Structure 1
Amino acid sequence: MRTRRLPGRHRRAEERQTTYGEVIAVKEFRALWYGQGLSLLGDQLAQVALAVLVYDRTRSPLATAGVYALTYLPSIAGGPLLAGLADRFARRGVMMTCDLIRALLVAAMALPIMPFWALCALVFLVVLLSAPFSAARAALLPEVLEDDRYVVGSALQNMTNQAVQMLGFAAGGAVIAAMGPYRALALDAATFLGSALILLSGVRPRPAAVRSAAKPSMWTMTRAGARLVFGDKKLRTLVLFAWLCGFYILPEGLAVPYAAKLHTGALSVPVITGLLMAAMPTGTVLGAFVFSRFVSPSRRLRMMGWLAMLSCAPLVVTATHPPLAMVLGAWVLSGIGGAYQLAANAAFVQCVPDEQRGQAFGLVQSGLMAVQGIGILVGGLAAERLGPEPVVALAGITGVTAAAVLAMIWAESRGDGSARVRAQAAA
């Protein structure tokens, strides 16, 4: 049976880009968006407050860095297992429960009588609960926004996240100085409560994705999710595209020593550090806006490999020891290239069945945390011997090479998919 082709004007209608206004008009998306922004702003303040609090108590840089490392470890260790909660139970309920528990835990952290060991344990638990929350939110978003709306909504959330992070880190020091670290932690607890209320009022209840009476164990779901994600060539390629961020995020971990190398007297090291750390998020916001607003859905998939290479290629210029302005331009350009993640994310969603979406997103998110943490750690160790400039350049070279290989694999898999579609149409 031959499939009838759509007229040209209908195909062009399918390629019409969704506007931000259309996405913001969706009530449930607004609730997810507002709740995420509120919680993230509180988290940024809490990170600064926690660093100040730990250093004031211990006067130990190692203890301060160790507590910061706890923000990576739980997602890597417990994320793949707990992410399955987003499929076993109603996703709105999972998010609200995580918000309420985290509000209680952070409120306990805000008590001055809390000993240091208990503070570390609470930090671990708070970050651990972010895994099922993030998995539930990521799995719920495609149900709220379909087709191109999902890409535009993801871009809007991504831009908001970057803006909130820049605002939180920039204003965090001043806020902590004005109200103190304990009150800042109490404010973070309040943001979790606010997020839960927004979800309760703005997101409608839905049944769990896994609806069978005999639900599989968490370990069984984790293994099934791993087989799904890594057993399929297309999904595996998309995951590796996402994990490329380990190469182009590495320079942010070397921002302070890099700023010290660039320091000439006109600008202080903290100012240069702030400029460097803001460069990639700025590029990410610009790239996400242009990519989601002015590039058609089909072109996004074709451009994904090229943009992935762009996310790493500008870093190679640091091998020539360029001035600050050129470094900032290169890092902004790298952030723009990172917009390919929107297309990879959308393609991933389309390939994963709803009943395994939370588990799949949880596995990918845990891998993201791992590659970022490992990348920054390896980069720091290498910079001790080689200096920051050659390490950033090596990250760029390695990242471009990996991106080029993935781009060829992606083009081949897309070609196979197109061939299958043509064969089905001719049948």
Structure 2
Amino acid sequence: MLERSGSALYSALAFMVSYLPGIVGSVALGPLADRLPRRALMIWCDLARAVVVAVLALSVATEAPLWLLTGLLLFAELFSAPFDAARAALVPDVLTDPADFHAGSGISRTLFQLNQTVGLALGGLVAYGASAQLALWLDVASYLVSAVILLVGVQHRPAALAGAPRGPDVRVAVRSVLDDPVRRVFIALGWAAGGVLIAPEAVALAYAVEHDSERMGGALIASLPAGAALGAWLIARYPPIIAVRMIRPLLAAGCVPLLLSGLDLGVYPTMALWFAAGICQAFLLPIMVVVTLLTPAERRGAVGGLAAAGFNAAIAISFVLAGWAADVFTPADSVFAAGTLGLFVLLAAHLAWPGRELDAVLDPAPAESSQEPSR
């Protein structure tokens, strides 16, 4: 898209489209993770994606029109939303100890970011070295393997809302988030900060082209998720209480590399800066852990879907704005502006921080002992 249009905005729009199914699917289908057995839902989502991608592979072989291929790809992505909601809601049922859940979530996020870094590169090599059709059939195989692992390795559990009357799940999820100060602030912070700090990915290709280093565009894009993988692995090694206290310092530290990117130091120094910014994205892990643990088990799918939809929307908006700023000014200026916005997000988080409520959740013993009569 960048090569054809010469516009960073159009390039960012191409990335943004991939997030649209996540926005719609998370809101509309996320509550299914509460209404249906979560393991079964994940298996059916894997099978559905395998079927759709298989149709996509066959369509590629018959040289089907581009609009049909794009539609099939976006349709397959719709099933990722309920799968992710069910997975996020199921993990606390498997890892019941908060410390274990925090560590397990760190491993999961590390692997996810490594998949973004390595998986995309390997997929591109397969598509370039062999064929796009082979890459799609390997994708089909991965979904089938995932379904078998879930069937064999995960215990069946009944639906969290089994037998409950149908209701406005999304409305209830919104109300449960708004009524709780910790969930309200943490989810809003995840949306705002996550959207701001991912801005470099939107202009990485444009930055590489501007510096006559088109071949480094993929490495620039990968630098952020590579750093995020390391950051998630590091923060998962700390106790949950310490990790929560690191949220605001990490957000502040994550803005610094984006601000320094405004100096336009060149491809390799900028790659190092964005890798460092990715490490600082570790603050997203304790946000997700706290929100999940504070949400009743029977509402984790709906609340998780709502949070995922907002996060995807924030990323989509960030991509558009970053691409527009890169066209009007430069890619480096666009990333600098994102770092500046990050400081405003940090200020808002500081002013709205639910310190008292958070202390009561993380360390309730002092609050309880303070109410006991002295002896």
TM-score normalised per structure 2: 0.89
Contact 2:46 2:147 in 1 (8 A): yes
C-alpha separation between the residues in 2 aligned to 1:153 and 1:140?
Answer: 12
How many residue pairs were aligned? 362
- Which secondary structure does the structure 2 equivalent of 1:210 belong to? coil
1:33 match: none
Displacement of 1:161 in angstroms is 1.6
Task: Give the residue type in structure 1 aligned to 2:275.
Answer: V
Q: In 2, Cα distance between the equivalents of 1:83 and 1:359? A: 5
C-alpha separation between the residues in 2 aligned to 1:348 and 1:296? Answer: 16
Aligned to 1:96: 43
- Measured in 2, the distance between the counterparts of 1:61 and 1:185 equals 29
Structure 1 range deviating more: 157-166 or 323-332: 323-332
Work out which of the residue numbers 207, 221, 235 in structure 2 matches 1:258.
207
Q: Indicate the residue corresponding to 2:174 in structure 1.
A: 226
> 2:298 is aligned with what amino acid?
E
CA contact (8 A) 2:16 2:320 kept: no
- Relative to structure 1, the CA distance from residue 230 to residue 318 in structure 2 (aligned partners, 3 Å threshold; closer, same or farther) is same
Which secondary structure does the structure 1 equivalent of 2:236 belong to?
A: helix
Q: 1:126 deviation in Å?
A: 0.8
> 1:392 and 2:342 equivalent?
no
- 2:222 and 2:332 mapped to 1: Cα distance? 18
Counterpart CA distance in 1 for 2:165 and 2:12 is: 40
Residue 144 of structure 1 corresponds to which residue in structure 2?
Answer: 94
- Aligned-partner Cα distance in 2 for 1:224–1:310: 35
**TM-score normalised by L of structure 1:** 0.78
* Counterpart code for 1:228: S
Question: Does the aligned pair in 1 maintain the 2:181–2:357 contact within 8 Å?
Answer: no
Q: Which position in structure 2 is the counterpart of 1:327?
A: 270
1:305·1:404 contact (CA, 8 Å) conserved in 2?
Answer: no
Aligned ranges 1:302-321 → 2 under 5 Å: 302-321=245-264
Pair 1:173 & 2:116 matched: no
The partner residue of 2:109 within 142, 158, 182 is: 158
Q: Which residue number in structure 2 is paired with residue 48 of structure 1? A: none
State the alpha-carbon separation in 2 of the partners of residues 396 and 308 from structure 1: 10
Is the CA contact (8 Å cut-off) linking 1:136 and 1:358 kept in structure 2?
yes
1:192 maps to 143
**Structure 1 spans left out of the alignment, 5+ residues:** 1-50
Amino acid at match of 1:223: R
The 3 A distance-change label for structure 1 pair 117 and 170 is: closer
C-alpha displacement at 1:321, in angstroms?
2.5
Change (3 A) 1:128 1:346: same
CA-based RMSD: 2.6
Deviation at 1:250, TM superposition (A): 0.7
Q: Report the Cα distance in structure 1 between the residues aligned to 2:365 and 2:339, rounded to whole angstroms.
A: 36
Q: Contact conserved, 1:283 with 1:334, CA < 8 A, in 2?
A: yes
- From 208, 211, 214, the equivalent of 1:269 is 214
SS for the counterpart of 1:339 is helix
Deviation track 1:182-211 (CA, whole Å, cap 9, x = no partner) reads 222122112111111110000010000002
Cα deviation code 1:258-304 (max 9, x no counterpart): 123334xxxx3222x233222222321222222112x2322111111
Aligned to 2:158, the other structure's residue is in SS state coil
Pair 1:64–1:256, CA change in 2 (3 A):
closer
Cα distance in 2 between the residues matched to 1:68 and 1:305:
28
Distance (whole Å) between structure 2 residues aligned to residue 105 and residue 68 of structure 1: 21
Deviation at 1:307, TM superposition (A): 0.9
What amino acid sits opposite 1:198 in the alignment? I
Contact 1:100-1:196 at 8 Å conserved across structures: yes
* 1:306–1:407 contact (8 Å) kept in structure 2: no
The farther-off stretch of 361-370 and 302-311 is 302-311
Q: For residues 60-94 of structure 1, give each alpha carbon's deviation from its aligned partner in whole angstroms, at most 9, with x where no partner exists.
A: 99999877654221221232121000000100010
Q: Check whether the contact 2:181–2:354 (CA below 8 A) recurs between aligned residues.
A: no
Checking the alignment, whether the CA contact within 8 Å between 1:311 and 1:333 is kept in structure 2 is: yes
Partner of 2:21: 74
Shift of 1:102: 1.2
* 1:221-261 deviations in Å (ceiling 9; x for gaps): 01101111233221011102211111110111100121233
Matched, 1:124 2:74: yes
Distance 2:287 2:358 in 1: 16
Q: Is the 8 A contact 1:100 1:192 kept in 2?
A: yes
Distance 1:225 1:383, change over 3 A: same
Equivalent position amino acid for 1:157 in 2: S
- Aligned residue in 2 for 1:338: 281
Give the secondary-structure state (helix, strand or coil) at the position aligned to 1:254.
helix
Secondary structure, in 3 states, of the residue corresponding to 1:322?
A: coil
Q: Which amino acid aligns with 2:46?
A: D
Q: What residue number does 1:239 align with?
A: 187
* Deviation at residue 415 of structure 1 after TM alignment: 6.4
The code of the aligned residue for 2:215 comes to P
Q: Please identify, of 224-233 and 413-422, the stretch whose mean Cα deviation from structure 2 is larger.
A: 413-422
Matched, 1:87 2:34: yes
Assess, with a 3 A threshold, how the Cα gap between structure 1 residues 312 and 326 changes in structure 2: closer, same or farther.
same
Identity %: 35
1:315/1:65 CA distance change after superposition, 3 Å = closer
Q: Distance in 2 between matches of 1:67 and 1:329?
A: 25
Contact 1:76–1:366 (8 Å) recurs in 2? yes
- Whether the 8 Å CA contact 1:99–1:193 is kept in 2: the answer is yes
Q: Which SS does the other structure have where 2:150 is aligned?
A: helix
User: Structure 2 CA distance, aligned partners of 1:168 and 1:193?
Assistant: 17
Cα displacement string for residues 86-124 of structure 1 (whole angstroms, at most 9, x for unaligned residues): 000100010011111111111111112344443233222
Contact 2:15–2:319 (CA under 8 A) maintained in structure 1: no
